[in-house]
């Protein structure tokens, strides 16, 4: 992780992916799957990740809320959104924020990248590069 990312993490306690993200690692990830298939893959994958607790799933909206406790005892709230772009293309975005205090030293950034890495590995045959 870069020094710039760590310095930003001193004052910022959240991170999210989007189409407009300046950091290419935080761009929305696209998969060549229908929303229903992508939802099934994403939820089953997230349920298997150690250290994360799924709090709520809303299939009709395409949102999964989770939490993760850090080694220092802080709680991170994470929302994974699964959005249908076309009948055979789905977008996935991740938002992560730490509760209380300011700054996370880049922990939320790492969570977003880790979740994308896990999802991309699981759905490697369906990743759309771009």
Question: CA triplet 22, 62, 39: central angle to 5 degrees?
Answer: 100
* Cα–Cα distance measured from residue 3 to residue 24, given in angstroms and rounded to the nearest whole number: 17
Residue with tokens 């994470």: 78
| 13 φ, ψ (degrees, to nearest 5) | -120, 30
Mean of pLDDT values over 92-112: 89
Where do the domains of the chain lie?
3-128
CATH code for the structural domain at 3-128? 3.30.310.220
Single pTM value for the model: 0.91
Strand-pairing partners, residue 63, are: 58, 81
Mean pLDDT score of the chain, rounded to an integer?
Answer: 91
102 pLDDT above the threshold of 80: no
How many C-alpha atoms does 25 have within 13 Å on its Cβ side? 12
The pLDDT tens digits of the residues spanning 22-65 come to 999 999 999 999 999 999 999 999 999 999 999 999 999 999 99
């Amino acid at each position: 992780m870069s020094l710039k990312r760590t310095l930003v993490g001193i004052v910022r306690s959240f991170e999210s992916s989007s189409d407009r993200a300046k950091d290419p690692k935080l761009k929305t990830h696209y998969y060549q799957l229908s929303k229903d298939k992508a939802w099934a893959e994403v939820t089953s994958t997230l349920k298997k990740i150690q250290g994360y607790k799924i709090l709520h799933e809303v299939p009709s909206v395409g949102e999964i809320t989770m939490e993760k406790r850090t080694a220092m005892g802080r709680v991170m709230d994470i929302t994974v959104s699964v959005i249908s772009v076309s009948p055979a293309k789905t977008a996935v975005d991740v938002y992560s924020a730490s509760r209380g205090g300011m700054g996370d030293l880049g922990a939320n950034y790492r969570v977003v990248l880790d979740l994308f890495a896990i999802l991309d590995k699981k759905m490697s045959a369906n990743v759309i590069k771009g």
